Structure formats: structure tokens, C-alpha cells
Amino acid sequence: MKQTTSHILMIAPTNFGFNEEAFITNKFQQRPDPSEQSHIQDLVLEEFNSFVKLLSEKGVFVHVYSDVQNSTTPDSIFPNNWISTHQTGELITYPMGVSNRRGERRQDIISSLISEYGFKHIDFSDREEMTPPRYLEGTGSLILDHKNKIIYGAISPRTDKKTMEDLAKTIGYESVAFNAYGKTGELIYHTNVMMCIGDRYILIGTDTIDEKDKARVMESIQSSGKEIINLSNDQTHNHFAGNMLQIENEKGQTILVMSKTAYDSLNEDQLARLNALNDHIVSTAIPTIERIGGGSARCMLAELFLMTR
């Protein structure tokens, strides 16, 4: 199984803004000043378009869909939370913990991808209606090691352990759940802020992991055979350094994608190791998206693992 793909789905925002409901569990968000409101959308669209241009120039196939006009989903720029695709043919949609984000699940996008690429749709979103509801927010909640068929997930109000186990069983993977903590001691809301898995390495905020879980998680990671690159709590909590994604381009060259915020936080040793393990490292400046949306580069990228037809 390949770890990377050269096809990426991105959603161009039409009404980006501060999401009050998401803020309850996302401690990375910062409330904007009222004076900013009139030009936030313009700034974010500029950051988004620059990111798309950067990836396209590196030879990545970027499939851009636009959010609907008069959108009521301020976080639509982060599609990886509602959709994932898999090399074995599944297109999975997820139960979202933030109710005003559920409208991001677009049937037109789902139908287009199924029609063009032959995916089989598996829908977990009905778990939103369970008592109690069970949430799992895509590859925000789940970090997948495709070679070793392991899913890692930090349990939180948005990441349910039982649903994670059910998802792993559905695609034939093992599930490794754990607790991890943010800078105020809260459960980290999404695993992808403290962990990134590449083809030959794993970046991880080791010290965010609960001491009761750490040995078990690290044993699994060490057995993967991948090089381990530790991130500090400052890097994960304040600089989005865990929120990276390794992809590839049309030539099969590996590309590690991150924000400029994340890149600037890396030390010389980390950069040297990552440069040795990737053909390219690219960073993009998305300060408005990070500050107001509370998500970074990886959150904006939904991988399309296309089957050979």
C-alpha cells in the first residue's frame, strides 16, 4: 500500500470566518478583531489560491471545488474532516462533532468522485444521531500508516474510540487509540496537530501523549520501521508543526507540505532529517487561516487515492 498520492482535493471558501461552535473544542482558534471582519474572506482566498498554485507548480494534481455561494459553513476550507478515500476503493464520509460543519458534506462532490473514479461510498455520518452521538472527523481524527495498516487516533470530543475501531475494521487496519493533551491540558481535538506519517518517517509530538498510553503508542510506532522525528510541545501547541502531509507529484517525487508557521519552528536537525527523507519540502503562508480557523496546511488537503481502472 502506498503512503502518498499525487491527487489532492481542496475546497475554495466563499464565506470563511471564525466558527464559534468549533471554538469550544479547538484551542488553536483565535477570535478576530471586529475591524478585520470585512476583509477576512479576501485574505483567506488569497492564501488559498497561493497554496493551490504552489502545489500545482510542484506537479501535484489539485482538484479544486468551490464552496456553495452564501455558505453557512465557515470551515469548509478543511475538507479532510468529512471525506477520505482509500486505495481499496472506499470513499468514506464522517460524523462531525461540530453541527454547523455537517453541511460541508457535499453530495455533488461525492457523486462526482464516485462517477469519475468508481469509489464505493461508506457513510458513517448516521452516528451523529446515536445516543450518545459518536464523532470521528476524518483524517483530522485519524492518522493512517498505510504500509503497516495501522490507524492512530487521539481520543477527544471529536474522535470516538468505538467509531475509530469500526472504521479500522471496515478497511482492514489495526486501531491504536490514546489520549493526548494541548497546552491548557485539554484533550487535543484532532490527532493531525501532533502527528504526521510519511513513507519512511513519523513526526510526532511525543510529550503530548498521556503517560499511561505513551509506551504502548511508541512501541507500535517503533515497530513500524519508520524513522521517528520528535516534535516539542511548543512546536505542536503553538506552531502547527504536526499538521503536515507527505504527498507526491506526477513524477513520483515525495513532497512534505506544511505551513510557513510550521516550517519556521523546525530546528536544524529536524530540517536536515526531513530534507534527507523527502525529495521536496514546501511551505505556504496561511496565517489568517491558521489564526482564525484553527487549522493548518494538512487540514486543507483531502487525499484522493485513485484506483487504477
Domain CATH code at residue 167: 3.75.10.10
Q: pLDDT tens digits, residue range 82-135?
A: 999 999 999 999 999 999 999 999 999 999 999 999 999 999 999 999 999 999
Residue 138 domain-assigned (yes or no): yes
Residue 50 domain-assigned (yes or no): yes
pLDDT of residue 45: 96
Residue 309 domain-assigned (yes or no): no
Residue 242 domain-assigned (yes or no): yes
Helical spans, DSSP H, in 150-190? 161-171
Provide the residue range defining the domain that includes 95: 7-303
Find how far residue 136's CA is from the centre of its chain. 12
pLDDT of residue 22: 87
- For the chain, what percent of residues have pLDDT higher than 90? 90
For the chain, state the CA radius of gyration: 18
Q: Is the per-residue pLDDT at 309 higher than 50?
A: no
Residue 106 domain-assigned (yes or no): yes
Q: What b/e readout covers 194-229, taking b as 16+ CB neighbours within 10 angstroms? A: bbbbbbbbbbbbbebbeeebbeebeebbeebebeeb
Bridge partners for 281 per DSSP: 256
Q: How many domains does the chain have?
A: 1
Residue 200 domain-assigned (yes or no): yes
Largest alpha-carbon pair distance within the chain?
51
Residue 1 domain-assigned (yes or no): no
Calculate the alpha carbon distances from 160 to 3, 118, 129, 142, 177 in Å: 24, 29, 14, 10, 9
Helix (H) or strand (E) holding 175: strand 174-178
308 band by pLDDT with thresholds 50, 70 and 90: low
Q: pLDDT tens digits, residue range 233-288?
A: 999 999 999 999 999 999 999 999 999 999 999 999 999 999 999 999 999 999 99
Task: Answer for the pair 31, 23: CB distance below 8 angstroms, yes or no.
Answer: yes
Q: What pTM did the predictor assign?
A: 0.96
Return the C-alpha cell found at 80.
479532510
Q: Is the per-residue pLDDT at 214 higher than 80?
A: yes
Residue 169 domain-assigned (yes or no): yes
